[in-house]
Chain A
Amino acid sequence: MDKAMRGYRQIPVYLRYLINILLLAALLALGNHLIVSGAVNRAQKAIILQIGIYALLAVSLNVATGYLGQLPLGHAGFMAVGGYAAAILWKSLPKNTGAMLLGLLLGGLVAAVFGVLIGVPALRLRGDYLAIITLGFGEIIRVLIINLPGITGGTPGLMSIPKHATFPVVYITVIVSCALIHTLMKSRHGRAILAIRENEIAAEASGVNTTFYKVLAFTVSAFFAGVAGALYAGYTGILTPGNFTFMTSINILVMVVLGGLGSMAGSIIAAGILTALPLALQSFNKYRMVIYALLLIVVMIFKPSGLLGRYDFSLTRILEKAVNGRLFPKRGKAGEDHA
């Protein structure tokens, strides 16, 4: 439907940006107020921070799985590299905002370098083979961390890392990262990445340099995993190789699949559910994993494309529909949800 021709009123771009920024800022102020005033207790705050960190991990993995359409299994490796890089930097600097920013950036950049190094050979392979080589990479990183005690503290790990990851830091970092991934995907580069997922041969024949864009998507994915790793280091204060096992990679992948491959909102919601659920179920400790597994099975049976499919939430799009009186479309007009 050509919206312009049918008198569909659109919200001007600057207004969209303003609405989104104001709402996000309001949410930040609200969250911060609740935490400072003590309405949210320490345990609840810990869950919120963990959800933020895992949301960023899931969103970053979604770039490689949902958008590019590959299946890397070594996401915890990038997270580890970023986390350790930031932790080592933070331990040698005084605790201030500059150091915090520097650490987050360094974590991302170091992980991105590894992303390029792994991506170039790994992306020559497809499907299962790519999964295996990235799985191997994740394990190599973990073993390296154990065997370089001079730098990483070895098996006992790095202790007393300055706790930079306060609520505002995690919140703003996650929001900014998601926004950057979103803007990338809504550009010609993002479209090239999606085209590779849709049909690699057609993309190549249309002039898309598939090798470059595969490595690019992989690197962006690694960068934000590294940032999330840095947040993780600044949140726990302790890093051990045991935090970054194969199971961590799988957990992140499950979040992406549960939320819907290619849906950023889905990744965030699934990260929320799968992080909060095990903690909430701690009192039924015996049945915790059973419930967790059942949930996954039920979702995969009834919604194989994930909770949200490829749908992405857009507040301004909903507002636009409301302005035009199309919030509740008549039957047969499915709108954007085509999963």
Chain B
Amino acid sequence: MPKRPVNSNMVPLDGLGIIPERDAGSPPILDIRHLCVDFGGLRAVDDFTLLIGKTEIAGLIGPNGAGKTTVFNLLTNVYKPTQGRILLNGQDTRGKSMHELNRLGIARTFQNIRLFSGMTVEDNVKVGMSHGYTDGVLADMFRLPGWWRTERKQHVRALELLDLFSLTDKADVLAGNLPYGDQRRLEIVRALASEPKLLLLDEPAAGMNPSETHELMDNIRMLRDRFSIAIMLIEHDMNLVMGICEGIAVLNYGRIIAKGTPKEIQRNPVVIEAYLGEEASHA
């Protein structure tokens, strides 16, 4: 497997964060400013500010319960932020519903897999192709030409996408009957089907063995290169995070305690303390 240069040069932008040098010419795909959310009296995410470049692979890490998934849920409007704003590709996402956000270019996977398990692998992917088709309900009921066109297009496209993750020969299998690793991969394929500009992966390597994780790392890079999209991922597997992420944000108790390149994060005493406790950082 040819090794691509993993860590590109990161440059500061507006004093708010860093993005890859190659993306400096275009506005960041995601611009989050001072995001806060309260659950009752608990501030789950506090003053979260982050920039993500147009083709960046970004990592969000932190100990359990730090609020990482909450950030993803804020980005996809599962929760409403108490304060702050999110610009996706320059557009404010406030008040948009989840499916409208999907249309604007955010797609995600879930920490606990949420596939349509009673549907086939191919149909799972086709559900992801939720926009760009114009055939109406009546046209489909009466199988007018629009239905035939859409079915043909979606079938071809679904097999293309499944092929990226070597799932083509399982297209007719029910998603619920897939082995665990394939289910995780299928979730990524389904997210890709909506042609996102930003892909959010919530613990994509959870439950995978080292060789599967390694393959996943190659796949994530391949997706970024092939589709020129930004990918933001939450992950506990540090080999994966340090291996493919260009910018990393570390979250603890809802606050960003460090931002930077993998090298900077690995050396940061605050991060080491958050992960290992105080004594380890003195050792």
Contact = CB atoms under 8 A, between A and B. Distances in A.
Interface in B97-148: 97-99, 102-103, 107-108, 110, 114-119, 123, 126-131, 133, 135, 137, 140-143, 147
Interface in A214-265: 216
Nearest to A200: B114
A206 B141 contact: no
B127 A206 contact: yes
Nearest to A212: B99
B174 interface: yes
Contact of A188 (B115, B154, B172, B174): B154
A309 B279 CA distance: 59
Given A199-B116, A205-B108, A206-B194, A187 B172 contact: no
A180 interface: yes
Most buried by B among A180, A197, A207, A310: A207
B169 interface: yes
Nearest to B140: A187
B142 to A, nearest CB: 7
A311 to B, nearest CB: 12
Nearest to B130: A207
A310 B117 CA distance: 13
Interface string A177-192: 0001001100111111
A184 B116 contact: no
A210 B114 CA distance: 16
Contact of A199 (B115, B135, B142, B147): B115
A1 B172 contact: yes
B118 A184 contact: no
Nearest to A262: B118
Interface string A1-16: 1110100000000000
Nearest to B131: A207
A308 B72 CA distance: 40
Nearest to A211: B97
B99 A189 contact: no
B135 A191 contact: no
A46 interface: no
B102 A205 contact: yes
Interface residues of A, number: 31
Categorize the interface residue count of chain B.
Answer: 35 or more
A191 B169 contact: no
Contacts of B127: 191-192, 195, 203, 206, 208
Given A183-B140, A184-B137, A187-B151, A206 B130 contact: yes
B88 to A, nearest CB: 14
A175 to B, nearest CB: 14
Contacts of B143: 183
A194 B99 contact: no
Contacts of B114: 199, 201-202, 205
Nearest to A184: B141
Contact of A206 (B97, B118, B128): B128
Given A198-B118, A202-B110, A202-B114, A189 B137 contact: yes
Interface in B57-115: 76, 78, 97-99, 102-103, 107-108, 110, 114-115
Given A191-B126, A203-B127, A207-B130, A338 B140 contact: no
A209 interface: yes
A180 B143 CA distance: 9
A3 B78 CA distance: 40
Contacts of B141: 180, 183-184, 187
A207 B137 contact: no
A204 B103 CA distance: 11
Q: Which 7 A-B pairs have the closest CB atoms?
A: A207-B130, A187-B140, A207-B102, A198-B116, A202-B114, A204-B98, A195-B127
Given A199-B114, A207-B128, A338-B177, 5 more contacts: A2-B172, A188-B135, A205-B114, A206-B127, A207-B99
11 contacts: A2-B169, A5-B169, A188-B129, A198-B115, A198-B116, A203-B116, A204-B98, A205-B107, A206-B127, A206-B130, A338-B174
